[in-house]
Structures are given as structure tokens and as C-alpha cells.
Homo-oligomer: A and B are copies of this chain.
Amino acid sequence: MLKTTIRIIERPKLRDPVLIEGLPGIGFVANIAALHLIKSLRAKKFIEIRSPFFQNLAILTEKGGIRFPVNELYYYKGEGMPHDLMILYGNTQALTTYGQYELCGQILDVAREFGCKSVFCMGGLRSERMTLTPELYCAATDLETLNKALEGGIKKIRGRIFGAAGLLIGLAKLRKMHGLCLLAETPGSYPDSVAAKSALEGLCGILGLKVDLERLEQSAESTRRVLESFKEWKIRERPKSLRPV
């Protein structure tokens, strides 16, 4: 059976690294936040992940080139910080439940290979209210990790976390890794830079990261453009006058 393939481009030495998940999901909260982190910190791509559980399509770029479903890992070595970062970014999640298990398992395995012991997932929590100061909620694999988040004023939550975020935290626990999930309120129906900012502020507070959040709106804009290109392209500019004989 075909498997998810992990291509390691570079093997950096990382100091007690943490994995930060940033795949597309509700409100694209994690996706926008992770893209902003990568850009702001000039994080470097070191791992490329392909999977037969991704969609079977090619995405055409503005320049006539093609992109393909992919997940990637970027690293950032921060001076004076207790943890280096491994940031998981991509344009898709696995399509099937089985594929999600396979993909997330492999991502955690390669993360551990680089010394990772903690996983931070971000995400959106669907809320009916619109707000400029979305509330932030958390859940953790263990009390110690949970308390770090609670000390920063983040609230506990009950419910379920679907998809890669839920599975990475769950599988991390089985591997005796620490895991924390940060969920920001969002209507969820558009790439939500306000919620992404809230999630990222929470994450930076816990990790002692300093990131300029001013340009985060640009990452939301990029995410919007990728979404646009996912819509089927239609020719409408021409008249319907001609007909084949």
C-alpha cells in the first residue's frame, strides 16, 4: 500500500523543539497563524510531506505554473529562547480518517526524530458572535501543560476537536508527548485574521516568543488568494454566438 512520504531536505540541530500545527481548518485560524510565524521569523523549510491521502488535483498558479497538495515543516532557531520551533504548514489535510491517522502518525514520528517532545495545535472554535477580541480556549494532554495556558488567562473548554489538531494531540498523548490545543472563537466561514491573531498571541505568551503581529492581515490575504485559486475557473467573458455545425 502507498504511504505518506517524508522527504528531509535538511537536518538542523534543534534545541528542545516544539511542533506548531498550522494546517487548514475552521476559519483557517491555524493556517494563517502558521504562515505569519514562518514569514515573520523567516523560518526555513526542511521537510516536505506528500500523501496518497491528499486530493488528486493540481492547482494552477497565476504564472501558469502548478502547485500540488503538500504539507511542509519549517524550523526556526531562536536566540535566547528555551525552545526552537518546528512549524507544520500546508494547503490540505488528509481526505480520509485512515489517511489522517497515517499522516499525523508520520508527522509526530519525524518530529520526535528531531527531538520534539511537545505539540501545540491551533484552531478555530465556531461561535455565533462576531468580535474583535475573540475568546481563547484550551485543552491539554496533562495538568502541567494545561496550567501554563490557564495562568495566561486562557479558558478551559469541553467538546470535541476534529481533524489534524485533535488527532495530533491525541496521538501525541499516546506517544507520551505533551500537547496543548489553543482554539480561538470564529464564525469560521472565511479566513479569519482576527481569530488567528488571538490564537497566535496566546501561543507566543506561552512560548515566550516575540512576533510582530501587525502584518498578520497579509497572511490572511495570502490564504484568501490560495482559496480563490481552489475555486474552479470559468470562462464567461465571451458571447455564446458561435455554434458547431
Number of interface residues of A (CB under 8 A): 82
Q: Is the CB of A128 within 8 A of B235?
A: yes
Whether the pair A66, B179 counts as a contact (CB closer than 8 A) is yes
Residue among B1, B62, B174 making CB contact with A158, cutoff 8 Å? B62
B98–A53 touching, CB < 8 Å: yes
Contact B57 A160 (CB under 8 A): yes
**A50 adjacent to chain B (CB < 8 Å):** yes
- A130-158: CB near B (< 8 Å → 1, else 0) gives 11110100111111001000100000111
Q: Mark A159-202, 1 if CB is under 8 A from B, else 0.
A: 11111011101110110000101000100000000100000000
Check B146 against A64 for contact (C-beta < 8 Å).
yes
State the CA gap A238–B1 with chains docked (Å): 49
Known: A131-B242, A138-B64. A160 touches B52 (CB 8 A): no
Which of chain B's residues has its CB closest to A61's CB?
Answer: B158
| Docked complex: A15-38 residues within 8 A CB-CB of B | none
Q: Does A80 contact B (CB under 8 A)?
A: no
Given A2-B101, A64-B140, A141-B66, CB of A127 within 8 Å of CB of B160: no
Q: When chains A and B are docked, how far (Å) is the Cα of A239 from the Cα of B58?
A: 43
Pick the most buried of A140, A233, A243: most chain B CB atoms within 10 A of its CB: A233
Determine the distance from Cα of A200 to Cα of B59 in the docked complex, in whole angstroms. Answer: 23
Residue of B66, B126, B138, B140 near A234 (CB, 8 A) is B126
Q: Does A222 contact B (CB under 8 A)?
A: no
Residues of A bordering B, CB below 8 Å: 1-2, 50, 52-66, 68-69, 95, 97-98, 100-102, 104-105, 125-133, 135, 138-143, 146, 150, 156-163, 165-167, 169-171, 173-174, 179, 181, 185, 194, 229-236, 238-245
17 contacts across the A-B interface (CB closer than 8 A): A2-B98, A52-B97, A52-B98, A57-B167, A58-B139, A58-B166, A60-B160, A61-B158, A63-B156, A64-B138, A65-B139, A65-B142, A66-B181, A95-B97, A125-B233, A132-B243, A159-B233
